[in-house]
A and B are shown apart, each in its own frame.
Chain A
Amino acid sequence: MAKKKQKAKTENPYIPKPYKVLEYYRETDDNFTITINMKVKHDPGQFVQLSLPGFGEAPISICSDSEEYIKLNIREVGTVTKALGNLKKGDTLLVRGPYGRGYPMQYLTGNNVLIIGGGCGVAPLKGIIDYVENHRDDFKEVMLFLGYRSPNDVLFKRELEEWRNKYHLQVTVDEEAHGEMCYDAKHGFVTDVLRSTPINNENKIVFVCGPPIMMKYVIEVLKEKGFNDKQIFLSAERLMYCAMGVCCHCMIKGKFTCVDGPVFRYDEMKELSDE
């Protein structure tokens, strides 16, 4: 029996690399943001596979725009994300990526930017906000509509004031506030505020991310306001393992969320949507 030991010539794509947690910030009871020292060029909307050996891997979208570090906003829902929640500044975690097709920002310059997010769907959109800030001259007016379930669920509180000063910002909460609110938020759905705001589709691109039901109604409102499919960009969520278009778990019809997405333009998404 002839055995040949052979080292993989190319890099093994399944092996993650270690990075350090530079900052850990708790946003809400079940949500936190970490900054890690991963220096990598990436588009907003792309994601990385975070792993803690023994717990597993989880795809998390990048919510910053820098080549010096990446920020990740994580909601504690599963085994891995809960374990990630126990990290501290200085801890090591393993990462592979970035993966996926992000928002094609360089092709969208010269437009007004409309950002509509719901819950932890705001995370990938924050990547766009940072990108726009870093390329402020390339974009015109920026409008933000961010909806959360309750005042306790509002994310990126540290950044909200800055956004309010620079952009047109509207924050909504589904449930009414019981205690004090340290920021200005309206009671109601993000769709209500969007509907009552006078906006037309001229020179605008829209980025939507949030729970499927929220995205559905947001698109309805956008359609009422005359937006066409090609102006709207959405982000999809699926179970995924490999993130390289192989394992097939994230397939939506023939498209792989991990390679062809997670960002889809609405005209592409529409073809996939009846699943």
Chain B
Amino acid sequence: MAQLQEYKCPACGGALEFNAGIQKVKCPYCDTEYEMETLEKLDEQLKQEAEQKDDLKWENKPGSEWQENEKENMVMYSCESCGGQIVCDRETAATTCPYCDNPVVMVGNFKGNLRPDYVIPFQLDKKAAKEKFWSYLKDKRLLPKVFKTETHIDEIKGVYVPFWLFDADVNAHMRYKATRVETWSDSDYNYTKTNYYSIIRRGTVGFERVPVDGSSKMPDDLMESLEPFDFSQAVDFQTAYLAGYLADKYDVSEEQSENRANARIRNSTESVFRSTVNGYATVTQESSSIRFSNGNASYALFPVWLLNTTWRGTRYTFAMNGQTGKFVGNLPTDWGAYWRWLLSIAGGVGAAIYAVMWLWALL
């Protein structure tokens, strides 16, 4: 007899033995039986997985160098309060910081940094942004009434926000453990049979231009809430698009932004692979190996309307997607109204239910 390779029991991890009596492999610890062929296939899978490591590397470098004449037309402002730096063309005079509403000062000609590859020009003007803001505040019953009157809506500013865009083809190899359950019964017993499966999925999925906010002044969750931007309207970058708007320049490098893109791509890859495993009672992911190929990053400016307002010592930042009009921003809660609503609904519904109970008892 050929030397039996030692296998581990997929159910309990114990060392398996070949049982001559039943011509099968049987685990001496948990009594589970296996076909020899099944074990060989499982072993092959495990060996392949051991060779694979996650590889999430990006290859190409984004952006390009600025032309000298392009730089001449642009000036930089710096905010003395929050340290934010913004760029605009010579004709557009910036007065206040879009991030913190404090005055900004011109610090000189634009210099350094990469030139963006793409820009999505503003599609919605300031008027549209204001309208969106008011309609966003409408029908919010727990919004403090005075909040609307104390907001300086005119200070809403159009800012081109720097984004890193990541492209990648993802090769993934996933293994799941899945179960199917059968039940039946005879006159004495109810039986539950759980069948265990090893599920293998291997394949490729492509991602295009996953955006990561490249400005440290912009909260990442706020910018992600503004998604999606429609990249089909993007054009090759020209300084002319900056006229009348402010622009931020990246201060979070492409390398620092990678992790965020990786995390999102990994989540989506896992969920799209998981969606191909159907017809099982339970599915557990046992291993995943994700590798990127043709990783590519580009540098783009996306249009965002920004409004900062300070109310009772807290700063609230609102942003609108300058392309789609999607409006985001957390609003304060009027706790007085909160309790009024809670108690009146609790009392009203409670009284109504109690009245129905009485009606039911009396009829």
The judgment on whether A and B are partners is no
A: which residues have CB within 8 A of B?
A: none
